[in-house]
């Protein structure tokens, strides 16, 4: 039994408590919460490379495509709440398509040539997207709103005659539009610690099919790469086909989509530089098994999407109204 009143703490107890304090401090540091946000600077220019690989298997035949979008983004304005007005433009598209029993078709908009035969067919379907400009508002959490299509390319192409369902996800203009306006990383309003999970709902289009999507994120903490610390996130997306509504309530109750998703899975990872607010790299894979009704039965098609992205800051343009100040202030920059 310990005596009443103050008593001297033995050295072994003091040492033990000190060690426990160190462990608790380290544990708190590892699991510290941090506020994740997108940060923008007026006049900042970003260049992104978005690659989407699609593999489609129908009746044992495989069709594969790789499309690369080169996107230039300019931060036009930064609002007091941290949101930014950003204009994005597709400057170049390259595409490679491998079809059964056919030679691989390659197209690059930078050459300025449409080619002949099959190459021209795909060029006519893809080239309308070149030069598209889209203005949007991006919040600090990464939510995209107020999307505005600014212009259409000067060179107008005739609508493509490609109608096969095997080609639809690869060459339809809307597929590029949603890649241009999509935010691949959205943050919650609250602070995050390693292991936290959150999700957002959205919508997209696959060919002509409207899809409802739900994206799940997991914060995996920091990861060192090339001497730098980046934030790492796991990401998965689940989709389902939206049934169009009609004015006939009876029909709405019995109507089912012509195409159904029988199976799906998704994996992905995003590496984010919170200092510069850029996606260092990302890769998301989604596999869908679609069922098409046909001749009293159904035909199944396996679709695999692998979408990757990397972004870099090219330069920070000096706003016109700040030009005078820059000329007058010639003091050397300090870090």
- Name the average pLDDT for the chain: 78
pLDDT per residue as tens digits for the range 116-155: 666 777 777 777 778 888 999 999 999 999 999 886 544 4
pLDDT in tens, 204-242: 877 667 889 999 999 999 999 989 999 999 999 999 987
> What single string gives the DSSP state of each residue in 234-257?
EEEEEEEEPPPP-S-HHHHHH---
CA–CA gap between residue 54 and residue 170 (Å, rounded): 7
Higher pLDDT among residues 14 and 286, named by residue: 286
Please state, for a pLDDT cut of 70, what percent of the chain lies above it. Answer: 69
Q: What percent of the chain has pLDDT above 90? A: 42
Cα dihedral 243, 245, 251, 257 in deg (nearest 10): -10
Listed residue (35, 30, 37, 36) closest to 194, CA to CA:
30
The closest of 307, 225, 316, 235 to 49, measured between CA atoms, is 307
Tokens of 256: 């089912």
Task: Tell me which residue has tokens 């999700």.
Answer: 199
Quick check: 289 and 299 in contact, CB under 8 A? no
| Domains, the chain | 36-324 (2.30.230)
* pLDDT at residue 281 is higher than 80: yes
- Indicate the pTM of the whole model: 0.75
pLDDT band at 322 (very low <50, low <70, confident <90, very high): low
The highest-confidence range among 2-6, 101-105, 270-274, 292-296, by mean pLDDT, is 270-274
Mean pLDDT of 300-327: 74
Q: Which of 312, 234, 236, 237 is nearest to 273 (CA)?
A: 312
What pLDDT does residue 10 have? 57
Closest by CA position to 211, among listed 252, 167, 160, 257: 257
Determine the average pLDDT of the residues in 83-100. 91
Task: Give the model's confidence band at 191: pLDDT under 50 very low, under 70 low, under 90 confident, else very high.
Answer: very high
The span from the CA of 285 to the CA of 265, in Å, is 8
- pLDDT for position 283: 97
């Amino acid at each position: 039994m310990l005596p009443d009143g103050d008593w001297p703490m033995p050295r072994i107890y003091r040492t033990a408590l000190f060690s426990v304090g160190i462990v608790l401090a380290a544990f708190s540091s590892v699991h510290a919460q941090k506020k994740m946000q997108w940060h923008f600077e007026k006049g900042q220019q970003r260049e992104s490379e978005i690659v989407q690989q699609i593999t489609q298997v129908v009746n044992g035949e495989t069709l594969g495509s790789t499309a690369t979008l080169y996107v230039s983004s300019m931060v036009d304005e930064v609002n007091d709440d941290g949101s930014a007005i950003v204009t994005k433009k597709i400057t170049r598209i390259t595409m490679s398509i491998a079809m059964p029993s056919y030679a691989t078709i390659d197209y690059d908009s930078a050459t300025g040539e449409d080619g002949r035969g099959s190459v021209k067919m795909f060029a006519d379907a893809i080239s309308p997207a070149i030069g598209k400009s889209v203005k949007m508002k991006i919040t600090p959490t990464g939510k995209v709103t107020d999307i505005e299509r600014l212009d259409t390319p000067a060179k107008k192409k005739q609508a493509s005659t490609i109608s096969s369902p095997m080609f639809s996800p690869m060459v339809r203009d809307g597929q590029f539009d949603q890649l241009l306006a999509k935010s691949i990383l959205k943050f919650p309003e609250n602070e995050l610690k390693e292991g936290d999970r959150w999700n957002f709902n959205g919508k997209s289009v696959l060919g002509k099919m409207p899809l409802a999507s739900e994206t799940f994120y997991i914060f995996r903490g920091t990861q060192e790469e090339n001497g730098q610390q980046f934030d790492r996130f796991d990401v998965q997306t689940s989709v389902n086909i939206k049934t169009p509504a009609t004015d006939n309530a009876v029909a709405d109750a019995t109507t089912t989509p012509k195409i159904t998703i029988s199976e799906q899975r998704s994996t992905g990872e995003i590496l984010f530089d919170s200092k510069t607010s850029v996606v260092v790299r990302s890769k998301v894979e989604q596999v869908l098994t679609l069922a098409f009704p046909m001749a009293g039965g159904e035909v199944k098609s396996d679709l695999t999407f692998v979408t990757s992205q990397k972004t870099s800051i090219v330069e920070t343009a000096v706003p016109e109204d700040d030009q005078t100040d820059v000329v007058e202030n010639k003091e050397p920059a300090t870090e």
